[in-house]
Amino acid sequence: MNKTIGILIFTLVTISSRAEYIGYHIKFTIETKKGETRIGFVYVPSAYLDMDSIENTNYLKYALDQSWDDRSNKDSLFYFKERIKYQYQEVGDTQGEEREIYSLSNKQSISYQDIKLIRIIEMQDFTYLTGVSSPLSVTDIPWISKKPLQGYAFSGYLCYYQVFVHVKSKKIEGIIKRLTAKQKSIESIDVNHENGDGVDEELWEIIKELYGEKVVVITECTC
Protein backbone atom coordinates (compact mmCIF):
# COMPACT_ATOMS: atom_id res chain seq x y z
CA MET A 1 0.00 0.00 0.00
CA ASN A 2 1.61 3.26 -1.17
CA LYS A 3 -0.65 5.76 0.46
CA THR A 4 -1.52 6.47 4.03
CA ILE A 5 -4.48 4.74 5.53
CA GLY A 6 -6.89 7.57 6.20
CA ILE A 7 -6.89 7.36 9.86
CA LEU A 8 -6.42 10.39 11.99
CA ILE A 9 -3.01 10.55 13.55
CA PHE A 10 -2.32 13.18 15.99
CA THR A 11 -0.56 16.28 17.22
CA LEU A 12 1.12 16.46 20.63
CA VAL A 13 -1.01 18.10 23.29
CA THR A 14 0.27 19.43 26.57
CA ILE A 15 -2.95 21.03 27.73
CA SER A 16 -4.12 19.15 30.79
CA SER A 17 -7.80 19.65 29.95
CA ARG A 18 -7.32 17.34 26.95
CA ALA A 19 -5.71 14.53 28.90
CA GLU A 20 -8.81 12.38 28.50
CA TYR A 21 -8.30 12.40 24.72
CA ILE A 22 -4.73 11.12 24.81
CA GLY A 23 -3.37 8.01 23.16
CA TYR A 24 0.07 6.75 22.24
CA HIS A 25 2.14 6.62 19.09
CA ILE A 26 4.07 3.42 19.59
CA LYS A 27 7.20 2.15 17.87
CA PHE A 28 7.91 -1.52 18.46
CA THR A 29 9.85 -4.52 17.20
CA ILE A 30 8.51 -7.93 16.29
CA GLU A 31 10.80 -10.94 16.52
CA THR A 32 9.44 -13.82 14.46
CA LYS A 33 9.84 -17.52 15.12
CA LYS A 34 12.05 -17.65 12.01
CA GLY A 35 14.47 -15.19 13.59
CA GLU A 36 13.43 -12.14 11.56
CA THR A 37 12.99 -8.71 13.14
CA ARG A 38 10.41 -6.19 11.97
CA ILE A 39 9.85 -2.60 13.08
CA GLY A 40 6.27 -1.39 13.30
CA PHE A 41 4.28 1.70 14.20
CA VAL A 42 0.76 2.02 15.62
CA TYR A 43 -1.47 4.47 17.42
CA VAL A 44 -3.53 3.27 20.39
CA PRO A 45 -5.89 5.41 22.54
CA SER A 46 -4.87 5.25 26.20
CA ALA A 47 -8.26 3.82 27.18
CA TYR A 48 -7.44 0.68 25.18
CA LEU A 49 -3.97 0.10 26.60
CA ASP A 50 -3.21 -1.62 29.90
CA MET A 51 0.13 -0.15 30.97
CA ASP A 52 0.72 -3.06 33.35
CA SER A 53 0.73 -5.49 30.42
CA ILE A 54 2.89 -3.72 27.84
CA GLU A 55 5.76 -6.17 28.32
CA ASN A 56 3.51 -9.14 27.65
CA THR A 57 3.77 -10.33 24.04
CA ASN A 58 0.48 -12.24 24.11
CA TYR A 59 -1.29 -9.09 25.29
CA LEU A 60 0.44 -6.83 22.74
CA LYS A 61 -0.53 -9.07 19.82
CA TYR A 62 -4.09 -7.88 20.29
CA ALA A 63 -3.61 -4.48 21.94
CA LEU A 64 -1.46 -3.11 19.10
CA ASP A 65 -3.60 -4.49 16.29
CA GLN A 66 -4.75 -1.86 13.78
CA SER A 67 -7.40 -3.92 11.97
CA TRP A 68 -10.13 -1.59 13.21
CA ASP A 69 -11.45 -1.47 9.62
CA ASP A 70 -11.62 -5.26 9.31
CA ARG A 71 -13.72 -6.89 12.00
CA SER A 72 -13.25 -10.29 10.36
CA ASN A 73 -9.59 -10.33 11.42
CA LYS A 74 -8.99 -12.90 14.12
CA ASP A 75 -5.54 -14.29 13.40
CA SER A 76 -3.14 -11.46 12.49
CA LEU A 77 -1.54 -8.34 13.92
CA PHE A 78 -1.95 -5.36 11.60
CA TYR A 79 0.50 -2.49 11.95
CA PHE A 80 2.18 0.21 9.86
CA LYS A 81 5.65 -0.02 8.37
CA GLU A 82 6.22 3.73 8.08
CA ARG A 83 5.66 6.77 10.26
CA ILE A 84 5.83 10.19 8.63
CA LYS A 85 6.42 13.34 10.65
CA TYR A 86 4.94 16.63 9.48
CA GLN A 87 6.03 19.91 11.07
CA TYR A 88 3.96 23.03 10.62
CA GLN A 89 2.93 26.39 12.04
CA GLU A 90 -0.68 26.81 13.10
CA VAL A 91 -2.96 29.08 11.08
CA GLY A 92 -6.19 30.63 12.28
CA ASP A 93 -6.77 31.44 15.96
CA THR A 94 -3.42 30.01 17.11
CA GLN A 95 -1.42 31.29 14.17
CA GLY A 96 2.33 30.83 14.37
CA GLU A 97 2.48 28.10 17.01
CA GLU A 98 4.93 25.35 16.07
CA ARG A 99 3.45 21.86 15.84
CA GLU A 100 4.38 18.40 14.67
CA ILE A 101 2.14 15.50 13.83
CA TYR A 102 2.50 11.92 12.64
CA SER A 103 0.84 10.03 9.82
CA LEU A 104 1.08 6.24 9.57
CA SER A 105 1.52 4.59 6.19
CA ASN A 106 2.03 1.23 4.48
CA LYS A 107 -0.14 -1.22 6.40
CA GLN A 108 1.33 -4.66 7.06
CA SER A 109 0.22 -7.82 8.82
CA ILE A 110 1.78 -10.83 10.50
CA SER A 111 0.10 -13.99 11.73
CA TYR A 112 -0.14 -14.28 15.49
CA GLN A 113 1.37 -17.75 15.15
CA ASP A 114 4.56 -16.33 13.59
CA ILE A 115 5.24 -13.90 16.45
CA LYS A 116 7.83 -14.88 19.04
CA LEU A 117 8.35 -11.58 20.85
CA ILE A 118 7.03 -8.01 20.72
CA ARG A 119 9.00 -5.28 22.41
CA ILE A 120 7.87 -1.64 22.70
CA ILE A 121 10.81 0.69 22.14
CA GLU A 122 9.09 4.09 22.08
CA MET A 123 5.82 5.63 23.24
CA GLN A 124 4.73 9.23 22.61
CA ASP A 125 1.48 10.65 23.91
CA PHE A 126 -0.65 12.38 21.29
CA THR A 127 -4.27 13.46 21.24
CA TYR A 128 -6.67 11.60 18.98
CA LEU A 129 -8.73 14.74 18.36
CA THR A 130 -6.29 16.00 15.73
CA GLY A 131 -4.77 14.22 12.77
CA VAL A 132 -3.53 14.27 9.20
CA SER A 133 -6.58 13.54 7.08
CA SER A 134 -4.96 13.84 3.65
CA PRO A 135 -3.23 10.71 2.31
CA LEU A 136 0.56 10.73 2.68
CA SER A 137 3.34 8.25 1.91
CA VAL A 138 7.12 8.26 2.29
CA THR A 139 7.40 9.42 -1.32
CA ASP A 140 5.81 12.70 -0.19
CA ILE A 141 8.54 13.46 2.36
CA PRO A 142 10.62 15.69 0.00
CA TRP A 143 7.81 18.17 -0.58
CA ILE A 144 6.19 18.07 2.87
CA SER A 145 9.61 18.83 4.37
CA LYS A 146 9.57 22.24 2.70
CA LYS A 147 7.72 25.22 4.10
CA PRO A 148 4.18 25.49 2.66
CA LEU A 149 3.45 28.34 0.30
CA GLN A 150 0.17 29.16 2.01
CA GLY A 151 -1.95 28.03 4.93
CA TYR A 152 -5.72 28.30 5.35
CA ALA A 153 -8.14 27.61 8.20
CA PHE A 154 -11.79 26.58 7.87
CA SER A 155 -14.22 25.69 10.63
CA GLY A 156 -17.62 24.06 10.75
CA TYR A 157 -19.55 22.93 13.82
CA LEU A 158 -17.38 20.32 15.54
CA CYS A 159 -14.50 20.18 13.07
CA TYR A 160 -11.70 22.59 12.28
CA TYR A 161 -9.44 22.22 9.25
CA GLN A 162 -6.02 23.63 8.43
CA VAL A 163 -4.96 23.36 4.80
CA PHE A 164 -1.29 23.75 3.90
CA VAL A 165 -0.54 24.23 0.20
CA HIS A 166 2.97 23.13 -0.79
CA VAL A 167 2.64 23.27 -4.58
CA LYS A 168 0.04 25.49 -6.22
CA SER A 169 -2.32 24.39 -8.98
CA LYS A 170 -5.44 25.68 -10.70
CA LYS A 171 -7.44 22.91 -9.05
CA ILE A 172 -6.29 23.93 -5.57
CA GLU A 173 -7.03 27.57 -6.30
CA GLY A 174 -10.58 26.72 -7.32
CA ILE A 175 -11.20 24.53 -4.27
CA ILE A 176 -9.84 27.18 -1.88
CA LYS A 177 -12.21 29.73 -3.41
CA ARG A 178 -15.14 27.39 -2.83
CA LEU A 179 -14.03 26.71 0.74
CA THR A 180 -13.72 30.44 1.40
CA ALA A 181 -17.22 31.01 0.05
CA LYS A 182 -18.56 28.12 2.13
CA GLN A 183 -16.91 29.56 5.24
CA LYS A 184 -18.61 32.91 4.68
CA SER A 185 -21.92 31.10 4.26
CA ILE A 186 -21.39 29.19 7.51
CA GLU A 187 -20.58 32.38 9.38
CA SER A 188 -23.83 33.95 8.18
CA ILE A 189 -26.07 31.31 9.78
CA ASP A 190 -26.73 30.01 13.27
CA VAL A 191 -24.80 26.73 13.42
CA ASN A 192 -26.08 24.45 16.19
CA HIS A 193 -26.60 20.81 17.12
CA GLU A 194 -29.50 20.52 14.71
CA ASN A 195 -27.69 21.57 11.54
CA GLY A 196 -24.06 21.26 12.66
CA ASP A 197 -23.40 17.75 11.34
CA GLY A 198 -24.64 18.78 7.92
CA VAL A 199 -22.38 21.83 7.94
CA ASP A 200 -19.34 19.70 8.77
CA GLU A 201 -20.20 17.19 6.05
CA GLU A 202 -20.59 19.89 3.40
CA LEU A 203 -17.23 21.41 4.30
CA TRP A 204 -15.54 18.01 4.37
CA GLU A 205 -16.88 17.03 0.95
CA ILE A 206 -15.13 20.05 -0.57
CA ILE A 207 -11.89 19.51 1.38
CA LYS A 208 -11.66 15.90 0.16
CA GLU A 209 -11.30 17.19 -3.39
CA LEU A 210 -7.80 18.35 -2.42
CA TYR A 211 -6.64 14.73 -2.17
CA GLY A 212 -4.01 13.95 -4.77
CA GLU A 213 -2.65 17.50 -4.72
CA LYS A 214 0.51 18.54 -2.87
CA VAL A 215 -1.50 19.69 0.11
CA VAL A 216 -1.55 18.60 3.75
CA VAL A 217 -4.87 18.77 5.62
CA ILE A 218 -4.85 18.77 9.43
CA THR A 219 -8.25 18.04 10.96
CA GLU A 220 -9.39 18.59 14.54
CA CYS A 221 -12.81 17.38 15.61
CA THR A 222 -14.26 17.61 19.09
CA CYS A 223 -16.80 15.19 20.53
Q: What is the pLDDT of residues 121-172, one digit of tens each?
A: 999 999 989 999 999 999 999 999 999 999 999 999 999 999 999 999 999 9
pLDDT band of 73, cuts 50, 70, 90 = low
Q: In what order do the strands lie in the sheet with 98-111?
A: 98-111, 76-89, 37-45, 22-32, 115-127
Neighbour tally for 109: CB within 10 Å: 14
Domain count, the chain: 2
- Residue 1 pLDDT > 60, yes or no? no
Asked whether residue 123 falls in the same domain as residue 186, the answer is: no
Say which range, 101-110, 132-141, 143-152, 188-197, has the weakest mean pLDDT. Answer: 188-197
Asked whether residue 1 falls in the same domain as residue 83, the answer is: yes
> Which is more confident, 16 or 107?
107
139: in domain:
no
pLDDT at position 20: 63
Is the backbone of residue 204 left (phi > 0), alpha (psi -120 to 50) or beta? Answer: alpha
| 139 three-state secondary structure | helix
Asked whether residue 28 falls in the same domain as residue 95, the answer is: yes
Asked whether residue 155 falls in the same domain as residue 177, the answer is: yes
